[in-house]
A and B are shown apart, each in its own frame.
Chain A
């Protein structure tokens, strides 16, 4: 396992090589396009949506998709396309912050455990394993059930379960880098462990974190949708894909568009992010690249 890494570190690629490879990677491209579109929708929703989703017009309720309302309207007469745009913003915000929490706490924990070794490493990583052993979504449901429903608690709940993921990944990566010659050189030069981690270890694990981040991001979106579906996530009037699905449930038989579009939004987004993640791994991940 370690041999290919050595090779990669010895012969770093230029950005041009990476870009060239990315352009030829189909799943990376598809994922990138889907993700960009969803991101764009979310950003546009800050300035403009086809209809307002906070002003309910009951007279317009349950309209089938048309030129006026592209995805139809829901039981309150809100435009579903507008709700999906704003829902994208909500999903992305929740997932992004949750991944952020994971990186912010997980990476330092992992790096510290790798640098320190011994008992500290054992204690940290075993605690990590304990958290990791809980099914993340179930525990998130538990957390929001205790602290009350709402976007903030959903973010925290999802974020907490991102910590062990990132801790584990960064510890593994750091452990494989520590024995390297250039690290030894840095140690000999008198750099402290913190400085070495910041200057040499972290830059060499960015690729790995990026790939994992993308995957956790899609899981975060899925988790937010799940929490909102059971009523523990984002609360109205903010729109959320999961809650849209929940509300559509009893109306499936006469207004299937209410369920189809938010469902599609979740599927497409998660698919896009997973493709992007796979693509990124193919393009960036040193281990896989050598095995080709």
Chain B
């Protein structure tokens, strides 16, 4: 009897093994064409021309929507809906030659009038575009013929084609522009298929795509806000990867796992201790300088990001040639000096303030460390964790905060310091002048010098606490190819992604 049972067990085991072996064979034979990626934040809506949330671009950019130009994985300007372009000698007139035979996902044709509509809408008075400054220099957009658009600028702009590559400058159709928030209709290689709110967004390959078709048949972006859940989703194979993994502490563990590939790249995310420059006592430069002296950047990077990140001394990406590296020494870590500055400003015993922290671990953990560091100079921070929606409402919109921590992931976004009414409420005529000059300058050396001046000014004025450049911790299945290593723009570009044989 015993022998019989054992025999039965062995047979069953053998059968199971054979079966699982054949499953493996089937998997290898039929190449996978769908991908599921994890994302930390869910976008509030899906119209990149009407929102500042990076999560919108991280879903739709290059996948669903396209602009005249696009930014490549290295930050270079590539042609997209515009096949080619020429610039007049005075640098003011751009003539774009458009691709023909391009269709929107709803079947309507794309032509020059859509370009005119999109750009006029973005720069118009009623525009809800989050980056209106990108279009400020445009004087007129003219349709020459269905495949040619002429854009006239009021003054030469060195980075105009780069600006047109932003997610905020994508081309939309007049018929569908208003419903893009819930049902995005673009010209990209993927078309939107469904959005399970709170869970995932699905897009499928568009068969009518004008350009090189994508390898994937379907892409799903799943929203996993909890870092611990992200780790388990990765380990369990529920997702194929994260363009930017939220739990830096688990990177060594994932790196050691041969199933995964870990790529640490750079982003455009200046992670800063944003300060409300119009609220006392932060109006006093000495208070802001004291904070700058009291912040130990390396401790924040090590403690909050487990070493991932590059210290920055200003609001500029350290991998950019115009970055001024020596600014990091403007306010060296010096508690005595910080206390002296506070005393000078009238707070010999420090004061109490509130720090509002959005969900990402750079903010929540970073905030705890900042609070501990500022406590040493007598500033007692009450830590208030907020969700993203609350952050956007209370901090970004209503400017009801003392300090907050956030990563500004737009590329070359130092111009936000010139924006009236931006949430940290900095205003300086000198800075605005530099930005105006920068917009007019076309000579690279001069542009870099002006960018340097701008960096120096905001650092000297200690507008915000400059902490570190966010690293992009990409983690994905080792067989997945074509994911971006760096993040020069907010994007999860899936156009080049495929599975290895």
Which A positions have Cβ atoms within 8 angstroms of B? 54-56, 58-59, 61, 75-77, 148-149, 231, 235-237, 249-251, 253-254
Contacts and interface: CB of A to CB of B under 8 A. Distances in A.
Contacts of B385: 149, 231, 235
A76 B368 CA distance: 9
B451 interface: no
Nearest to A248: B228
Interface string B363-385: 00100110111011000001111
A58 B302 contact: yes
Contacts of A75: 249, 303, 306, 365
B303 A250 contact: no
B164 to A, nearest CB: 40
Contacts of A231: 385
Interface in B368-410: 368-369, 371-373, 375-376, 382-385
B81 interface: no
A231 B382 CA distance: 15
Contact of B228 (A59, A249, A254): A249
Query: Interface SS of chain B: helix, strand, loop or mixed?
Result: helix
A148 B382 CA distance: 13
Nearest to B361: A250
B231 interface: yes
Nearest to B230: A250
A236 B363 CA distance: 13
B444 interface: no
Contacts of B384: 148, 235
B227 interface: yes
A266 B365 CA distance: 24
B368 A61 contact: no
A197 B446 CA distance: 88
A58 B375 CA distance: 16
Interface of B: 227-228, 231, 247, 249-250, 252-253, 298-299, 302-303, 306, 365, 368-369, 371-373, 375-376, 382-385
A58 B371 contact: no
Contacts of A56: 299, 303, 368-369, 372-373
A54 B371 CA distance: 9
Given A61-B303, A250-B247, A250-B250, A237 B369 contact: no
8 contacts: A56-B369, A58-B303, A148-B384, A235-B382, A235-B385, A237-B383, A250-B228, A254-B252
Contact of A235 (B299, B376, B383): B383
A243 B372 CA distance: 17
B350 to A, nearest CB: 14
Given A58-B299, A149-B385, A250 B227 contact: yes
Given A56-B372, A237-B383, A253 B253 contact: yes
Nearest to B381: A237
B372 A54 contact: yes
B358 to A, nearest CB: 13
B461 to A, nearest CB: 28
A263 to B, nearest CB: 15
Contacts of A149: 385
Contacts of B375: 54, 237
B369 A254 contact: no
Contact of B249 (A54, A58, A251): A251
B301 to A, nearest CB: 9
A251 B227 CA distance: 10
Nearest to A150: B384
Given A58-B299, A149-B385, A236-B383, A250 B372 contact: no
A76 B383 contact: no
Contacts of B372: 54-56, 76, 237
State the 8 A-B residue pairs at the shortest beta-carbon distance, nearest first.
A249-B228, A58-B303, A56-B372, A58-B299, A250-B247, A58-B302, A250-B228, A236-B368
B452 to A, nearest CB: 32
B302 A61 contact: yes
Contacts of A55: 372, 376
Nearest to B367: A236
| Residue from the set A56, A61, A149 with the largest chain B CB neighbour count within 10 Å | A56
A78 to B, nearest CB: 9
| Residue from the set B249, B306, B369 with the largest chain A CB neighbour count within 10 Å | B249
Contacts of B382: 235
A251 to B, nearest CB: 5
Contacts of A77: 303
A236 B365 CA distance: 10
Given A235-B385, A250-B249, A58 B369 contact: yes
A149 B364 CA distance: 14
B368 to A, nearest CB: 5
A3 B385 CA distance: 56
A55 B377 CA distance: 12
Contacts of B253: 253-254
A75 B369 CA distance: 11
B231 A76 contact: no
A209 B303 CA distance: 47
Given A56-B303, A237-B372, 11 more contacts: A54-B375, A61-B303, A75-B303, A75-B365, A235-B383, A236-B368, A237-B371, A237-B375, A249-B227, A253-B250, A253-B253
A89 B334 CA distance: 34
Contacts of B250: 250-251, 253
Contacts of A251: 249-250
A77 B385 CA distance: 22
A59 B307 CA distance: 11
Contacts of B373: 56
Contacts of A148: 384
A196 to B, nearest CB: 48
A266 B33 CA distance: 47
Contacts of B231: 250
A76 B302 CA distance: 9
B252 A76 contact: no
Nearest to B369: A56
A251 B249 CA distance: 7
A236 B302 CA distance: 19
Contacts of A253: 250, 253
A234 to B, nearest CB: 11
Nearest to B235: A253
A126 to B, nearest CB: 36
A81 to B, nearest CB: 19
B330 to A, nearest CB: 23
Contacts of B299: 56, 58
Contacts of B369: 56, 58, 76
Nearest to B390: A148
A77 B433 CA distance: 46
A198 to B, nearest CB: 42
Contacts of B298: 58
Contacts of A58: 298-299, 302-303, 369
B135 to A, nearest CB: 39
Nearest to A52: B372
Nearest to B372: A56
A235 B356 CA distance: 12
A152 to B, nearest CB: 12
